[in-house]
Amino acid sequence: MDRPFPSIVVASVPDRNNPPSEDSSGKLPVVECANCGVCCFHMGYPAYIRPREPMTEAEIDVLQEQSGRKISARRRDELRAGHPGEAHWHNLPDDLKAELETYIAGYQLPNYGQTLDTFDGPCIWLDMQTRMCKHHTVRPNVCRDFETGSPDCLDWRRTYEDRINDPAG
């Protein structure tokens, strides 16, 4: 059955002459994230890669002992090398950086369980009314890399389907 394709914002379509069709549920494919925010529902806070000083073998050994878990050779190499931090962290305005560092310093791990209510909860930058990031232009790499309409996106949308449709979240 031929019918006109609705006017939507297309994030990426390999062949623009053959736009995606409805899936078996009758829903159009996900091509934008407006009014959704599910990728941020469980984040707690923006996950920037912040600068980290190189660690010595002795410091890594103490970390391993404190964690009670073996640290792999690959991870040891990473810890010895340190990390300069991602560019978006360095470009973050000082007031947002200070606010985020204060939040992280006081952060308490949730009591992880088997229900969505035991996850971290929404990112502190997610506006629950608009379902959009309050600081979208300075978001971290992990947020930039999360592809709208990807299998992971669709899995989260299925998981939080009832909350997507509820304006209160």
Q: What is the pLDDT of residues 14-34, one digit of tens each?
A: 344 444 444 445 455 566 777
Same domain, 39 and 112: yes
- Phi-psi sector, 94: left (phi>0), alpha (psi -120 to 50), beta: alpha
Q: What domain count does the chain have? A: 2
Q: How many CB atoms neighbour CB 8 within 10 A?
A: 13
- The model's confidence at residue 150, banded by pLDDT at 50, 70 and 90, is confident
Instruction: Among 59, 84, 109, give the residue marking a domain's end.
Output: 84
CA distance linking residue 154 with residue 140, whole number of Å: 21
State the residue range of the domain holding 130. 1-50+86-169
- Residue 162 pLDDT level (bands cut at 50, 70, 90): confident
Statement: residue 61 has pLDDT above 70: yes
CA 123 – CA 138 distance, rounded (Å)? 14
**Given a cut of 90, is residue 99 above it in pLDDT?**
yes
Residues 66 and 38 grouped into a single domain = no
Closest C-alpha to 156, from 47, 46, 33, 45: 33
- Whether 167 and 153 map to the same domain: the answer is yes
Q: What is the pTM of this model?
A: 0.66
59 and 123 in one domain?
no
What is the pLDDT, as a whole number, of residue 121? Answer: 80
Q: Are residues 16 and 92 in the same domain?
A: yes
Count the helix, strand and coil residues of the chain and give each as a percent rounded to the nearest 5. Answer: 35, 5, 60
The kind and range of the H/E element at 97 are: helix 94-105
Please check whether residues 73 and 117 belong to one and the same domain.
no
Are 140 and 147 in contact by the 8 Å Cβ rule? The answer is: no
pLDDT in tens, 117-147: 667 788 999 998 888 899 999 999 999 998 8
More confident call, 39 vs 16? 39
Report whether 138 contacts 96 (CB < 8 A): yes
